[in-house]
Structure 1
Amino acid sequence: MQFASELAQVGGFTVLNDVVFNQVVVRCQSDELTERACARIQALRECWVGNSTWKGSRVIRISVCSWATTAADVTRSVRSFEQALRDVAASSQS
């Protein structure tokens, strides 16, 4: 739930699902931006997320599945989402 609430406060990501336990599904404004942001998040290597299709749209799927994950880990991961989106936006303007 922390991941979803922190990401909901980050501009550029929309949380699509009702978070019940440990799965969060988000997307950006377009399928292309979602794909590029996901690839950049993976390249930053702060956390691992996967891409998928949900209800016909490309999404980023987050699964927090380790008992060792702390609140600080989640916040650090959300910061990598922010960085990834900034990086992708900057590369689009070049």
Structure 2
Amino acid sequence: MSGELMGWTLDVFGTQPGVSVSVLDGSASEAGDLAEVAIERSGDLSKPLTVELNWTNAQEATLSDGSPLPSSVVLAAGKASVSLSLAAIADGLEEPTEFVSVSS
């Protein structure tokens, strides 16, 4: 058989890690009640995975320790999920319900 190679294709098989963000407790208050979200992954857990997070109204909440909401989290090798506890910023103002959302 003879011929000319016109091109080639490389098929790589494997799976991309699946990532989900879920609400464990969707309500926080300025009185100290915390909201909680979980970032979970599926697939290969043998390597760490950095998950980028996109927040709306991030100025309305902090992590429970007072630090700003993160732009990413790292799921360590072997770890399938991480939870974040969110605190409402207590500004002392009477105001309507405020919303914070996150996606990855």
The TM-score range, normalised by the shorter chain, is 0.3 to 0.5
Structure with greater strand share of residues: 2
Give the greater-gyration-radius structure (CA).
Answer: 2
Instruction: Give the TM-score of the pair, scaled to structure 2.
Output: 0.35
Structure with greater helix share of residues: 1
Instruction: Give the TM-score of the pair, scaled to structure 1.
Output: 0.37
